[in-house]
Amino acid sequence: MRFLHSRIGIATVCALLPCFGTPAQSPAADAGASAPAAYATFVTGATIQPGLIPIITKNGSIYLALKPSQLGADFIETSVPSTGLGGFGPAAGSPYLAPARIFHFDRVGDKVVLRWPNTFAQVNPSTPQAVAARQSLPSSVIDVVAIAATNASDGTIVIPASSFLGDIADYSAAFSQAIDNPLHGYQLDKDRTFFAQTKAFPDNDILRVSQTWASSDPNLIDNVPDPRSIEIGMTYNIVAAPNDGYVPRIADPRVGYFEQVLLDFAHDPTTTRNINYIARWNFAPEHPGRPSNATHPLVFFLSNGIPLQYRDTVREALLTWNKAFVPIGILNAIQVEQQPDDVNWDPEDIRHNMIRWIDTTDPQYGAEALLTVDPRTGEEINVGVNVDAVEGTSKRDYRYVVAPARGLSDNAANENAFEQAYLRSVVLHESGHDLGLQHNFMGSMAYTAKDLQSKAFTDTHGVATSVMEYAPLNVWPKNTPQGDYVQLVLGPYDYHAIKYGYAYVPGAATPEQALPTLRRWASNWNNPLYRFASDEDADFSQGHAIDPRVQMFDLTNDPIAWCGVQLHMLHGLMNSIDTRFPQSGQPYDDARRAFLIQSYMYTTCAKMPADTIGGEYLSRAQAGDPGAGAPLQPVPRSEELRAWHLLATGLFSDAAWHFNPNVLDRLTYSEVSSLTSSGTWTYHSTPRHDISVSQLAADAQEDVLSQLFAPLTLQRIDDLSTKYASGRTMSLADLFGWSSASIFGDITGGGVAHDGVIRRDLQVRFAQRLAKMWVSPVAAASPNPGTPTDAQALARYTLVNLQTDATRALARSGMDEMTRAHLEALVAIVKQALQAKPG
Ligand SMILES: [Zn+2]
């Protein structure tokens, strides 16, 4: 279920190949003042790897041979770690360590400057703006090296590659950003840093460096043989910058592409200098504007590491994208080939767009799209997908959710069919990223529950409008109709987005000339089939996101109703785990795993209605678009009440967390030794032998309360009254009133004696939260709001009411000891708060 996704980035994940160790060069030798040697003399006895930049190995040192035309020319340089830190910091293949940058070798006398020129400015060369931008925006210099040899006949110069033994990618920053800064103190040890391998291809060079990060503090981490020394593989890729007449395409916020942001100094903009180019492949159709073959198709290669039984599924998923290119007249855009069995054929050749199968210790069926993009234009020069190996989420989902929910058997044929479908949906999604597409978290809002329960419908339209949605499993209760479990086809939004990014715009020779047509194409955002919303729009946790239509892992155009069905189904499954798990011959871990996976899905849905509370519908449509109204519209109060009702019953109630004791007494696990502690799913770090339902409940409840009572959420809800008439949408008083009724309600209702540990715990935590809001409200720290004064007042008001109700309840007779203690504790929390800040 977890798709690792990528923003624009670069990555070339490297197979671990045998290294030939090359000792570090002495920096003193590089910087020697002696005059450059003659090329013919220099290369005597040296090894030369021909390629984009020939690589010379001489006396154990690495040199680069640059042609005169390559001095000052644009290369693209990427830095990607080929090993990880075992759970800390950047993972192997992480494309986020450093951006793809334009790279120059600039000659200055007998030296060469290795430089990242500043490419942020988009200017017409030979205009005054070009001069001004050059003067205004600084470049970055990586190193200055002395020329080691020159070839008088063809002008070739040879420089040492020793600059790449330094920390070019700024890995030290990654160390200090690692969790809780546990790796602080690690320094690159140049004496133990060396070129492990070099490769030269026609369009790129690979310099693979083994770095040693050393520390004198040996107690920092425990997952290396000797914590004083950490070996990190770093792969530098130097790529010829494309020069193929590519015309960039300008992005539009209504259609989701990855973007390359530049500063436009070529025009005189009135609002912003930002110019955003989309990331896309340059297919270069034979006859733009009428059906013709791509002359530069995107050819994927299936790695030889992909098991045979998955190759057809991967291939068919990739080729499915061709369907979106046919309507815009680009034929055979995507092609798929099998990596040849040839040792000289190298996946790291930049011309090879690889689909790789990665073995990890904890396979997730996660996958990651990898893009290398020209930072000047957004043109993709290499893309690929890493698929986490088999045995992952799909098997678990089938065994513990699909099969029990649908009443199916666990036979291998069923399991395999599900697994192939799951793999297909993962590859469709990741290869969509490869085409430049961002996630679309509004993609689940166009279809009805009835649609999703129809196999005929989902076979044609999918379970969402886009493969770029994070769609959860589409599973409905046993004995009800059932569509496809996962997204198997492109949705209408996918066709729409491909048209925006790739269709020929008649008569447009520049990006700007294409804009009127592109804007017209993007103007149908109000049609639910074509809506787009991005990752940022789905960031609800601190109150940023506001539109409940934009969520990950929801389904149908009525997610509240869908969640209601899911909660009922999942609770039923959890409550009857003892009838199915453990299966014969399995340890009780089987039952525990089933419970944890089902409860994870349960809490995901139980928390989701919180995104509707205090929400507003946010439109990306622009003024004048068909059907466009005001971009902000209130979520009706009735809808918020409906969402609250589901929170009250599915999250805050006692019944939500009540399970058959015959289930709870079997959720244990087998003690085994494992290499690391991160191998399995856990919800809590306490190493208990059972599952603490009260802890599961508390975690989920606190997530929701933290979101709803975050200062930003409170301020937004408080401000709703400035935009909308009273009663149209909820108020801050509603939030406190509804919370109080759901959480403390039984104290006023007299049912407190029936409360169990889960409710008592919730009541205490909520009373403490209110007390904190009153006694020590969050101070505003621009631009972040503090706890609004209205919220402080309502917190105090709610506490005073709680004190009255709890005091009245305490006067009743026949109360058990625990209930009395609990009520007295609530009163004490209120008294303490009111004493600390009398108001
Ligand atoms: Zn993704």
State the pLDDT at residue 85: 73
Residue 525 within a domain: no
> Which residue in 293, 223, 749, 253 sits closest to 536, CA to CA?
253
Q: Quick one: 743 and 661 in the same domain?
A: no
Domain end marker among 209, 240, 271: 240
Cα 7 to middle of ligand 1, angstroms = 9
State the pLDDT at residue 10: 35
Domain end marker among 185, 218, 240: 240
State the pLDDT at residue 389: 61
Cα 381 to middle of ligand 1, angstroms = 20
Residue 373 within a domain: no
Q: Quick one: 713 and 666 in the same domain?
A: no
Cα 588 to middle of ligand 1, angstroms = 34
Q: Quick one: 158 and 37 in the same domain?
A: yes
Number of domains within the chain: 3
pLDDT tens-digit map of 310-350: 999 999 999 999 999 999 999 999 999 999 999 889 888 99
Residue 44 within a domain: yes
Strand partners, 253: none
Q: Quick one: 206 and 115 in the same domain?
A: yes
Cα 461 to middle of ligand 1, angstroms = 19
Q: Quick one: 597 and 714 in the same domain?
A: no
Residue 306 and residue 336 in contact, taking contact as beta carbons nearer than 8 Å: no
State the pLDDT at residue 748: 79
Cα 447 to middle of ligand 1, angstroms = 21
Cα 132 to middle of ligand 1, angstroms = 39
Q: Quick one: 716 and 644 in the same domain?
A: no
Cα 426 to middle of ligand 1, angstroms = 9
Q: Quick one: 658 and 714 in the same domain?
A: no
Cα 355 to middle of ligand 1, angstroms = 15
Cα 717 to middle of ligand 1, angstroms = 31
Cα 6 to middle of ligand 1, angstroms = 7
Q: What is the DSSP letter of 329?
A: T
Q: Quick one: 739 and 604 in the same domain?
A: no
Cα 66 to middle of ligand 1, angstroms = 39
Name the one residue in this structure whose structure tokens are 């076979």: 459
* Cβ within 8 Å of residue 300, ≥6 positions away: 318, 334, 335, 336, 337, 353, 354, 355, 384, 431
State the pLDDT at residue 826: 97
Residue 175 within a domain: yes
pLDDT under 50 in the chain at which residues? 1-32, 179, 674-685
Q: What angle do CA 313, 317, 319 make, to 5 degrees?
A: 120
Cα 549 to middle of ligand 1, angstroms = 18
> Which residue in 22, 31, 41 sits closest to 149, CA to CA?
41
Cα 518 to middle of ligand 1, angstroms = 25
Residue 196 within a domain: yes
State the pLDDT at residue 269: 65
pLDDT tens-digit map of 499-515: 999 999 999 999 999 99
Q: List strand residue ranges (DSSP E) for 132-286, in order.
A: 140-146, 149-150, 157-160, 187-188, 194-200, 204-214, 229-240, 259-264, 274-278
Cα 437 to middle of ligand 1, angstroms = 9
Domain that holds residue 732: 709-835
Cα 464 to middle of ligand 1, angstroms = 14
Cα 534 to middle of ligand 1, angstroms = 11
Cα 444 to middle of ligand 1, angstroms = 15
Q: Quick one: 719 and 825 in the same domain?
A: yes
Name the one residue in this structure whose structure tokens are 């006694």: 775
Residue 618 within a domain: yes
Q: Is the pTM of this model over 0.85?
A: yes
Cα 712 to middle of ligand 1, angstroms = 28
Q: Quick one: 609 and 714 in the same domain?
A: no
Residue 681 within a domain: no
Q: Quick one: 42 and 174 in the same domain?
A: yes
pLDDT tens-digit map of 390-415: 556 788 899 999 999 999 998 899 99
State the pLDDT at residue 365: 54
Residue 618 host element (H or E): strand 616-618
Q: Quick one: 734 and 596 in the same domain?
A: no
Residue 534 within a domain: no
Domain end marker among 670, 687, 721: 670
How many other CB atoms are there within 10 angstroms of residue 635's CB atom?
23
Cα 4 to middle of ligand 1, angstroms = 6
Cα 366 to middle of ligand 1, angstroms = 10
State the pLDDT at residue 28: 41
Cα 430 to middle of ligand 1, angstroms = 6
State the pLDDT at residue 57: 97
Cα 370 to middle of ligand 1, angstroms = 11
> Which residue in 122, 116, 121, 125 sits closest to 136, CA to CA?
121
Q: What is the DSSP letter of 623?
A: T
